[in-house]
Structure formats: C-alpha cells, structure tokens
Amino acid sequence: MKSYRSTLTTEFSYTAVTKITDGFKEKLGEGGYGNVYKGKLPNGQLVAAKILEKSKNNGRDFVNEVATIGRIHHVNIIRLLGFCCDGPHRALVYEFMPKGSLGDLISKEEITHTIGVPRLLKIAIGIARGIEYLHQGCERRILHLDIKPHNVLLDNNLHPKISDFGLAKSYSHKDSTVTLTGGARGTIGYIAPEVFLRSLGGVSRKSDVYSYGMLLLEMVMGKKNERPETEHSSKEYFPDRIYDQLNQWSDLERGDVVIEEDTGISKKMVMVGLWCIQTNPVHRPFISTVLEMLTGEVERIEMPPKPVLFSLPRQQLECNISYIDTGGEGSLHAPEME
C-alpha cells in the first residue's frame, strides 16, 4: 500500500465508501472495470466513486491510477480525492462532474446547434492543455494511452477534465519512447497504429496525439458518423468522407458571418485532427504544436496529407491486445520531425 499511497488523497474504508454513496444508490455509469456511483462526502462535496470489479488487470490498473493521478493537479485533469483498498474491495473516489462525459455530449443530435462550434473548440483546447501538462508539465512524462470522448468529463461550465488513468504509463523526459509490457492497450478506433505495429516506431507521446486527433474529428463530425471498427468502414469514413467535407466547406459562399465563423472553426479542428492521425508518428505534431494550431488562424495551417488508415486483421488484433475497450515543439505550419 505504501508504494501507491498519496499525500494528496484520502484512504477510505469500504464501509465509508458504502456510506458516501448511500449504499450505491445512484449509478452514473458502467464499464469493463466496474460501476461508477454518485456520492457525497461528509463536508457536502459531491463525488463519483468508481468501484472496481475483479479482473486479471484490476490490481495493476488500480495501483497505476492511484500512483499516477494522485500526485498531479491541473485544471484539465480530473482530481482524485481518495481511494479504497480494503480487503478484496478497490474503489477510486473522484470529484463529481455534473455534465457527464464528452462522449455523452457529442452523441446527441445537433450538438453544434446546442452548444455552438466555438464552445466545442474551447473544450478541444482544454483537453489538449491537459495532455500537454501530462507530456511536459509533470516531473515524469505521463502517457495516458486511452484518450477518447468517454474519458473526458465536463463540469457545469463544460470545462473538460481528462479521466481514467488505469492504462497510463510514466517515464523519464530523457526517453523518447516507452516500452509497453503485455501487449497493446487502449480503445479500438483511438489506438495509434504504432501500438500494434512497432515497425512504425516506438510508443510515445505521439500515440496520445493520434488518439486526440480521432477524438477531435469525432467532436466535429458528430457521433452519427460512426467510429471505424471494421476495415471497410474505416476506409469509407476516414479520411475520404472528411476530405469531402473539407472541400464542401471551401466551396461555401461567404456572406453569413456566423456560418462563416463556425465553418472556419470546424475546418480548423478537422485539419488539426487529420494532422494528428497521420499513420507515421514522425508526421504528427506534438501536442504543443496542436495547441498553437487550434488557437491560431486556420489560414496558417497547411493542408494535411490524406492519412492512410490501417487496420489489423481481427485475429491479430485479439492476439496482440492485453486490454482493449470497444466502446513547445514543432512548427505551426507543419509538424516537427523526430
């Protein structure tokens, strides 16, 4: 226990967790790791308690999440308030995020009309700042390795916070890549190609950039454009459909200032997303460059090459994955090469 106890978090007994959640009365969500319940601390603060179920990776992921997130603090990173390691019981207690996940938000129809394209851009920038902190602002570099819409939570003001650090990996700033033991990890549709195909290079912060790029494209294009989960659908949707959309935006007649502004923001987010999902990690920008592009003018961004998305055969996918969920460098104009 001492190996992962954090001075920034509180250790709860299982009885205390049960009391905090009022007997696990209100479920907020569920996943392969277990269920999340709404709760309240004695001081009145609302929390979300993630109750971990038994699995072969549970112990490792639990220790990893407490050790990783328990020692960092950033406005765009979820705050871990406490944990439970009581006999067979494992739980993580986080600050409560009332607006749920970004995945839930973008799954709604006409999301751009509901909150507006400029607000989506602000959310995207907040997520990128959180990733930049993990990559460059911590004592040891942290790769999240599971960036996706459902791992981004929103507060009442729709400020985003990155969550779920069970798969995260920390390593020295002196190292350019990190070694993953036990095979690939992450979520289908967001995992960088080099996580499977090591001939493309080692797993690095560029792997998180790839996942962020897929998230960014999903934010702009909407959930109705299904995520690529088969080789056929990935060729049909990415990147051809997005490039077609870019051409349509370019051909729009100018005149409506609001439409023109929204189209410019959407085009910028798509262009940045396409840079992020380049198959070769060398061709992707660092997250700091992504931030420069997102906060700058769209005219300053070079048109990205059409990414060649690649899909492993299903049997190879199953053999190589240990955990999988189905659910200030660089140039502003073009990504810096490593």
Beta bridge partners of 94: 48, 80
Q: Position of tokens 């969550």?
A: 163
Decide: 112 and 121 in contact? Cβ < 8 Å: no
Please indicate whether residue 146 is annotated as part of the active site.
Answer: yes
Question: What is the C-alpha separation between 220 and 217, in angstroms, rounded?
Answer: 5
Angular region, 260: left φ>0, alpha ψ -120 to 50, beta rest: alpha
Picking from 88, 16, 10, 95, the residue whose alpha carbon sits closest to that of residue 55 is 88
Which residues touch 255 (CB under 8 Å, ≥6 apart)?
none
Decide: 6 and 72 in contact? Cβ < 8 Å: no
Which phi and psi angles does 11 have, rounded to 5°? -95, 125
Active-site entry in 22, 61, 86, 146: 146
Decide: 76 and 129 in contact? Cβ < 8 Å: yes
Question: What is the C-alpha separation between 82 and 80, in angstroms, rounded?
Answer: 6
108 is in an annotated binding site: no
Picking from 121, 160, 162, 122, the residue whose alpha carbon sits closest to that of residue 145 is 162
Question: What is the C-alpha separation between 16 and 330, in angstroms, rounded?
Answer: 48
Q: Position of tokens 């290079």?
A: 201
Q: Let me know if 87 is exposed, middle or buried by CB neighbors in 10 A (0-12, 13-18, 19+).
A: exposed
Residues in the annotated binding site for ATP: 50
Catalytic (active-site) positions: 146
**Can you say which residues are annotated as belonging to the binding site?**
50
